[in-house]
Amino acid sequence: MVKVLIALTSYNEQFYADGAKTGVFVIEALHPFNFYKEQGCEVDFVSENGKFGWDEHSMIPDFLSGKDKEDFEDKNSAFNQALSKTKSAAEVNASDYQVFFASAGHGTLFDYPKAAGLQKIASEIYAQNGVVAAVCHGPAIFDGMVDKATNKPLIEGKSITGFTDVGEVVLGVDTLMKEKKLSSIEDIAKKYNAKYLAPIGPWDDFSVADGRIVTGVNPASATSTAKRSLQVLEAAK
């Protein structure tokens, strides 16, 4: 059985201009979780300190409705049962997992680049021939992550995607990000000499794989990113 570790941001503070908090973007954790479970995988959640909260903008009907809303609100759903056992990075043994999946929300831009525990777990899973996947703002986890085999940045020379700078402008948070000195995913790609691949439109379902690194661009890409991660894992055997 494939074991998957889904990372969550611990950052859950006011961020948006309307006073709403950022945090974990619901469907960017829910959709991968449900997909992996449907494929027979064992799935655990982790955050740097074992805590997390929700991005309040991710809970509006545009993003959360129908079966997703039911799963999210049902305290007995497999999703919520797994979330209730969220581990801290210090409690996780990387050798137990074959896939590391970094979920997102703007909160990741604050804590993933400093999340030494999560980065260590991801780099160890990668070193043992596993897959490191990330969606939307999740590739912020690569900011500072090193390939243990080469001691170079893990994404150096790799093709990745992630939430677009155009998308940040559309959401009206580009100025906020600059004020808070937050790097966009495109910034991080440039920083580590990775090739950033953009979708035709910022809301398109778009994911890419380069070796055992898999990335997706936005909430609509969460499932395809998870699917691609298992395809890559199978090909790496």
Q: Which residues share a beta bridge with 128?
A: none
Q: Is 31 a catalytic residue?
A: no
Q: Is 41 a catalytic residue?
A: no
Catalytic residue among 28, 31, 56, 136: 136
Q: Where are the beta strands (DSSP E) in 108-196?
A: 131-135, 146-147, 152-153, 159-160, 195-196
Catalytic residue among 137, 156, 186, 234: 137
All residues at 6 or more sequence positions from 116 whose CB lies less than 8 Å from its CB, including other chains: none
Q: Is 136 a catalytic residue?
A: yes
Catalytic residue among 28, 48, 168, 186: 168
Q: How far is 230 from 99, CA to CA, in rounded Å?
A: 8
For residue 88, give the H/E element and its range.
strand 87-88
Q: Is 189 helix (H, G, I), strand (E, B) or coil?
A: helix
Residues assigned a catalytic role: 136-137, 168
